[in-house]
Structure 1
Amino acid sequence: MSDLSTLLPPFMMRVAGAGDLSNLTRLSGGANMESWAFDWGGGAYVLRRAPSAEYMEGRPYGHPVEAALVRAAHAGGVKAPEVIGVLSDSDGMGTGYVMRRVIAEVSPAKILASPPPSLVADLGRELALIHALPRAAIPAEIPVMDTAAALAELKARFLSYGGDRPAIALAVKWCEDHLPEPADPVLVHGDYRMGNVMVDADGLAAVLDWELAHLGDAHEDLAFGCMTVWRFGMLDKPAFGVGSLDDYFAAYEAAGGRPVDRDRFKYWLVYRTLWWALGCLQMGQAWRSGADTTVERVVVGRRTAEQELDIIRLLEDGAPAAERAAPLPPSPAAAGAPVGEPTTQEMVQAVRDWLGEAIKPQAEGHGKFQVAVAMNALGIVMRDLGAGIRAEDKALAGDILAGRVTLAKPGLLARLRRAALDKCAVDSPKYAALAAARAAWNG
């Protein structure tokens, strides 16, 4: 923070005029980028920047292009933030840009606890506006997504990560077998979901985080926010955890969006669930490489189990009725009560308890968030040590990818269900879909 305290004032003087820097605070969360809130000259602002130069490697475009796109969306009537300046190398703060701060709620839990009545309609309308932005207004560096090529890249990444997770292999094969015909490309936000929208009493107030934007199939955006993981426990409300798909699609079409194809929507629901499963695994790779050594990276890396559970729930209707009704095999037997010297599991629990009792109450801001993440990581370790559950099976994953094994194979669906339940219980025991799957599968 000390560097920003020194380096931000000259930048703000140049882009916003005279003022004084105050209330510089690191905002919690942000899986990919740092966000810093601050005040300057009577206005509220947010600095968005990369945590490291290495973290931007391999991205199709950098922050200057992203900032230009956000400016184009704002000028086109989309509720995008107002960008006031883009960092340059001479500013010494890395790569990023500064926006006027929107004062509204961003926490999915708080929004979904009492969403404004217009929110589903707002989400559909805003997405239609994004998709209607003219090609001429979009920076030339924004890439066009070729769905077949993108799927092949996901498959290659899966294989590079070991190619040994059967549920992920199932999603890859299903997407290959159900690849849709190319669609007329529109601007796709790429991360349109709860957590990246801000809401106030009047409805949708801002659309954030444009770093994944590209040109592609509108149904990709339509589906992403409807993934189970982004509904934050509101499983009975398939549109963003807020309402029904019928109302969401109707609002999108009424605002000028193209007619929604339900089959194409399902394809993208499966594709983006697969994408995020691999994205979670990639977080672990980022930690291993040293590009981002925060504890949050390794914790998110273990959220792959959530997506594997969701993949099976999305695709199980492709199994014969007898397989869908088959009982689950038992979970591995749990170890007995420990005796003698403290076990590794008990030592981890002692450290976790100490963090919660002695450290977390004294922490503030982003530091408090980091302590919570560290406690979550230790909780995963404790459960893993006690259960000994693994998700890897390279031979089975290879058979699924090659089409040698399908959900018609007797016992396969039951085996995949059991593995998904047990792994998610270790890595994400509070994931809402886990309880729903247990009830549905008698697990």
Structure 2
Amino acid sequence: MGDLSADELIEGLARVCTRAGLSSPSGLTRLTGGATMESWRFSCGENDLVLRRAPSLEFMRDRPFGHDVEAAVIEAARAAGVTAPEVVAVLESEEGIGSGFVMRALPGTPNPKLILEMENPDAMLREAARDLARIHSLTLGDVPDAVPVMDYRAAIADLKAQFEEAGGDRPIIALGLKWMEDNCPDPVDPVLIHGDYRMGNLLAEDSRLTGVLDWELAHFGDRHEDLAFGCMAVWRFHRYDRPALGLGSLEDYFAAYEAEAGVTVDRERFRYWLIHRTVWWALGCLKMAKIWRSGEDRMLERVVISRRTSEQELDLLMLLEEDAPKREKKREVLNYWDLSEDWSGEANVGEIAMAISEWLVTIKGRMEGHDRFQLAVARNALGIIEREHRTIRFGADQEELANEILGGFRTLATKELLVHLRSYALQLIEVDSPKYPALAVARERWL
């Protein structure tokens, strides 16, 4: 519950609901998921509502705008015909429960696994394209001035600074940053960008899109950024074979978007933003460990997400290697992973982690809601410990290699650089996320 007890949160919500003309809140339940903000569902009489709240006021300090602006963006999107939730109240400081807002609950599930198994993914893809085009119909005068306009080059420089702050020792991310510097497109007339338009932030019910959530990353920029982000491999979940949101083909997605928006999708700009946002999310994952260490948010999920950086590195390398010479693409990765060591005697760290994970399974049935979700996260963390104990993180001086790549001294045309990066990516992800769907594709392609 972060910095508040259950009683304190419900008391503060009562003050919010009174101000909004609603009855007293009841049935407060923490919703699962949410990598940045908390979500709580509750009722006021017959009204089902959701509280979206920052884990702490400190967490909001460096954000470009607050929840009041996010709420205004959501209302502008609703006015444009987007299936966004209705905001009923923005939290005020005297209510004592932090920063956030209350919105009406929408029908449907945000669970990607359930959505991607619904009977008519083609219909949902068309509706997703429709809503995205309507978001992009909003211009600078439609939302508060605090919503920033992206400067593409400044965005790259910011990512580069984040990379260096995080140690500057991930050569695949360095390769992506260098590619972005060399291939940054010219600016276009900016439109409102959702910034996080993907499975996990879309609600659906009976093959129908029912809501677009999580608007905290809204800004003005290139429409192709939004189009590309939801098509990243990580957001397609178990439907790696459906490149558009995990729902269908890029051709169908683009056609539906073009019909609603009245513009033509530029495939080269789409590829640029696919690479840009993969780098962005790789660094976003990496930053989660810093957030946890700082005390801004000590949620277990933070440290586990930080280890998902390797997923993005794998995806990024598969995108970038399209530009490598054929001779480098043909090189195969050999013997990148060795788990042959046998242990005897006292239990090692990996075995202890495995034993704890097996015990957690026995208490799973006693867990509900967010606690059940956190139990799954804890088991993931223990799995990482167990697998890492059986290997050694990549031994070469990766910071020096990253610097050489950023400086342009090594490229994908450099002999055996690509095969080295493939081996590096595979070794990390086998420890961090061995069930990641793209890994099977990479193995087939590279080994």
- Give the TM-score of the pair, scaled to structure 1: 0.97
- Per-residue deviation, 1:389: 2.3
Verify the 8 A CA contact 1:232 1:241 in the aligned structure 2.
yes
For 2:58, give the aligned amino acid: E
State the alpha-carbon separation in 2 of the partners of residues 426 and 247 from structure 1. Answer: 36
> Aligned to 1:379, which of 358, 376, 383?
383
* 1:217 matched residue in structure 2: 222
Question: Following superposition, which runs of at least 4 residues in structure 1 exceed 3 angstroms of deviation?
Answer: none
1:80 maps to 84
Which residue does 2:146 correspond to in 1? Answer: 141
Amino acid at match of 1:77: G
User: Is residue 295 of structure 1 aligned with residue 295 of structure 2?
Assistant: no
- For 2:3, the equivalent position in structure 1 comes to none
Cα pair distance change 1:387/1:2, threshold 3 Å: same
Q: Deviations over 1:274-293 (max 9, x none)?
A: 00000001101101111111
Aligned with 1:90 (options 77, 89, 94): 94
- The aligned counterpart of 1:101 is 105
Question: Match for residue 327 of structure 2?
Answer: 322
Task: Please report how far the alpha carbon of residue 202 of structure 1 lies from its aligned counterpart in structure 2 after TM superposition.
Answer: 5.2
Q: Does the CA contact (< 8 Å) of 1:168 and 1:277 recur in 2?
A: yes
Aligned AA for 1:338?
A: W
Alignment of 1:42-441 (within 5 A): 42-116=46-120, 117-201=122-206, 203-357=208-362, 359-390=363-394, 393-441=398-446
User: 1:157-202 deviations in whole A, cap 9, x for unaligned?
Assistant: 1011111111000100111110100111000000000000111225
Residue 20 (str. 1) matches residue 4 (str. 2): no
Contact 2:204 2:210 in 1 (8 A): yes
Is residue 296–residue 373 contact of structure 1 (8 Å, CA) maintained in 2?
yes
Aligned residues: 440
Native 8 Å contact 1:233 1:433 kept in 2: no
Quick check: 2:202–2:211 contact (8 Å CA) kept in 1? yes
Rounded to whole Å, the distance in 1 between the matches of 2:57 and 2:14 is 22
Contact 1:121 1:248 in 2 (8 A): yes
Q: Which moved more, 1:326-335 or 1:367-376?
A: 326-335
Distance in 1 between residues matched to 2:353 and 2:403, nearest whole Å: 36
TM-score with structure 2 setting the length: 0.96
- What is the deviation of 1:329? 3.4
| Kept after mapping to 1: 8 A contact 2:56/2:297 | yes
5+ residue gaps in structure 2?
1-5
* Distance across 1 between alignment mates of 2:207 and 2:419: 46
Contact 1:187 1:216 in 2 (8 A): yes
| SS of equivalent to 1:46 | strand
Helix, strand or coil for the counterpart of 1:99? strand
Q: Quote the Cα distance in structure 2 between the aligned partners of 1:347 and 1:21.
A: 44
Kindly provide the amino acid, as one letter, of the partner of residue 232 in structure 2. M
Contact kept in structure 1, 2:311 and 2:436, CA below 8 Å: yes
Task: State the distance in 2 between where 1:234 and 1:334 align.
Answer: 29
Distance in 2 (CA, whole Å) between partners of 1:157 and 1:5 is 38
Alignment check: 8 A CA contact 1:329 1:414 kept: no
Shift of residue 256, structure 1, vs aligned partner: 1.9
Say which SS state the counterpart of residue 142 (structure 1) adopts.
Answer: coil
Query: Which secondary structure does the structure 2 equivalent of 1:60 belong to?
Result: coil
1:37 aligns with 2:41: yes
**SS of residue in 1 equivalent to 2:20:** helix
Please give the alpha-carbon distance, in whole angstroms, between the structure 2 residues aligned to 1:390 and 1:86.
Answer: 47
CA contact (8 A) 2:119 2:207 kept: no
- Measured on the aligned residues, the alpha-carbon RMSD in Å equals 1.2
Partners of 1:431 and 1:329 in 2: how far apart? 20
Secondary structure in 1 matching 2:318: helix
Q: Which amino acid aligns with 2:288?
A: M
1:115 deviation in Å? 4.8
Q: Is the 8 A contact 1:47 1:99 kept in 2?
A: yes
Aligned partner letter, 1:245: L
Q: CA deviation at 1:147?
A: 0.5
2: distance between equivalents of 1:287 and 1:238? 32
| Alignment-mate amino acid for residue 91 of structure 1 | E
Identity score, percent: 52
- Partner-residue secondary structure (3-state), 1:36: strand
> d(CA) in 2 for partners of 1:397 and 1:344?
31
How big is the shift at 1:257? 4.4
**Contact kept? 1:16, 1:84, Cα under 8 Å:** no
